[in-house]
Amino acid sequence: MTNEDISKIKELLEGKKKIVIVPHKGPDGDAMGSTLALKILLEGLGHYVNLIAPNDYPNFLKWMPYEKETLLYDRDTEKCEKIIAEADVIFTLDFNHLSRAGDMYKPLQEATAAFVMIDHHQQPDDYADVTYSDVTMCSTCQMVYHFIENIGLAQKITPQIATCLYTGIMTDTGSFRYRSTTSLTHRVIADLIEKGADNTSIHENVFDTSSYGQLQLLGCALQNLRVVEGLRTAYITLSQEELDRHNFKKGDTEGFVNYGLSLEGIVFAAIFIENEAEKIVKISFRSKGTFSVNEFARRYFEGGGHTNAAGGKSDLSLQETVERFISILPTYKTNLAL
Ligand code: 5GP
Ligand code: MN
C-alpha cells in the first residue's frame, strides 16, 4: 500500500461509518476469511458493518467466527440494496471486477459510497477510490493482514480475526504448497497462530467434515477423469444427473480439479460441472509452471483468475463444452506438448 492509500483509508474510517464488505459470488475460504476478518476488526473500532455476500458459501466454512451474521443478497435482496445505497464506505474483497459480484453488480455500481478494493487477482479494474491490488500475494487474507498492519492496528487482531485470516491463507495456498506461498506468508501464519488461530482445529473444520455423498461424488469424478494424450492435460466432468445422484451441495466439489494435476506428467487440469439451474457449465482450471490458465479462461471461457488457478463458464452443453475445450488445446501445443 502507498502512504497516500494509508492516509486515505484513515480518513475514510474517521468517526463512526456505515460500512459494507463484499466478497465475490460463490465465496470461497479466502473470500469469507478476508471479509469476516475485516468485519470483526471494523466493528471492534465502533463502525456499523454489514457483510453482504452475493450468494451462499459452502458448508465447510459454516463454523467461522461471526459467519452467521452474513447477509445473502440473493435471499434478502431489498434489505441488502437499502444497506448498500446508504453505505459510506464499501470494501470489495478478493475480486477484481464488479461483475464478479454477480447480480449485486447493479446496486454496487449505483452506490454513492467510497470504494476500497483489496485483491490479488490479475488485471484489476479501476472502480475503487483506494485500490490495494497485489497479484504476487497468495491470498486476500494475507493482504488484509498487511492492510491491518499498515494502518497501525496489528494489536487489534483478535483470535477470531486470526482464525479467519488463517483459514483463507490455508485454503488459497492449497495448505501452504502453491508457489505464491512465501517465507513472508509463513511469518504471517506464525503470527496468526500466536494471536490465537488454532491451526489443527481449522484444518479439521475445513477438511474433515465431508459427507458420505461428497466422497461418493469424488469417486464418480475420479471415474470420469480423462487424459488428453500428448498434451499433458487431464479433465473431469460432472453432469447434473451425477450431482443429483450424490445429493450435491454447494462446495462439495471443492478441490476435485486438483486430482487431475496429481497425475504424473500433467500440467493442465480442468473440471466441468453442469449447472442446470443457471443453464451454464461452470469450469475450474489449474496448471503447474508457466502455462497461464488466467489467459486461457479469459480468452475462451468468459473467466479469469490467476496464472495457476482460474475459473470460467460456458453456455454450451456439457458435452459440447468439453469438445470445444479439446479442440482448443492443440493451439497450445508448444506450451503443453513435451
Ligand atoms: P475456482 O476454480 O476455485 O472457483 O477459482 C479459481 C480462481 O479463479 C479464484 O481465484 C477465482 O476467484 C477465479 N475465478 C473462478 N471463476 C471465475 C470466473 O468466472 N471469472 C473470473 N474472472 N474469475 C474466476
Ligand atoms: Mn483469493
Taking the CA of residue 294 as reference, the ligand 1 atom at the shortest distance is 8
**Is residue 101 scored above 90 in pLDDT?**
yes
Ligand 1, pocket-test mutation among 22, 25, 28, 272, most atoms within 8 A of CB: 28
Residues with CB under 5 A from ligand 2 (ion): 30, 94, 140, 172
Average pLDDT over residues 27-49: 98
Q: For the chain, which domains are there? A: 3-207 (3.90.1640.10), 212-336 (3.10.310.30)
Residue 251 CB less than 6 A away from ligand 1 = no
CA dist list (Å): 172 to 54, 79, 184, 249, 254: 20, 31, 15, 21, 12
pLDDT digit string (tens) for 120-149? 999 999 999 999 999 999 999 999 999 999
- Cβ proximity of 312 and 328 under 8 Å: no
Average pLDDT over residues 211-224: 97
- Tell me the Cα Rg of the chain: 20
Q: For a pLDDT cut of 70, what percent of the chain falls above it? A: 100
Nearest protein Cα to ligand 1, atom 17: 311
Residue 138 CB less than 6 A away from ligand 1 = no
The pLDDT value given to residue 250: 85
CA distance 47 to 53: 19
The three-state secondary structure class of 15 is coil
The pLDDT value given to residue 338: 82
- Cβ proximity of 84 and 101 under 8 Å: no
Residue 140 CB less than 6 A away from ligand 1 = no
The pLDDT value given to residue 97: 96
Q: Please tell me the number of the ligand nearest to residue 137's CA.
A: 2
Residue 269 CB less than 6 A away from ligand 1 = no
Average model confidence (pLDDT) across the chain = 97
pLDDT digit string (tens) for 294-313? 999 999 999 999 999 999 99
**Is residue 192 scored above 90 in pLDDT?**
yes
The three-state secondary structure class of 120 is coil
Distance of CA 201 to the CA centre of its chain: 21
Average pLDDT over residues 232-249: 97
Tally Cβ neighbours within 10 Å of residue 332. 16
One-letter amino acid at 250 equals K
The grid cell for 218 is 469424488
**Is residue 264 scored above 90 in pLDDT?**
yes
Q: Percent helix, strand and coil across the chain, each rounded to 5?
A: 45, 20, 35
Q: For a pLDDT cut of 90, what percent of the chain falls above it? A: 99
pTM equals 0.94
SS3 of 286-332: the string is EECCCCCHHHHHHHHCCCEECCCEEEEEECCCHHHHHHHHHHHHHHH
Confidence of residue 166 (pLDDT cuts 50, 70, 90): very high
**Cα 247 to averaged position of ligand 1 atoms, centre (Å):** 24
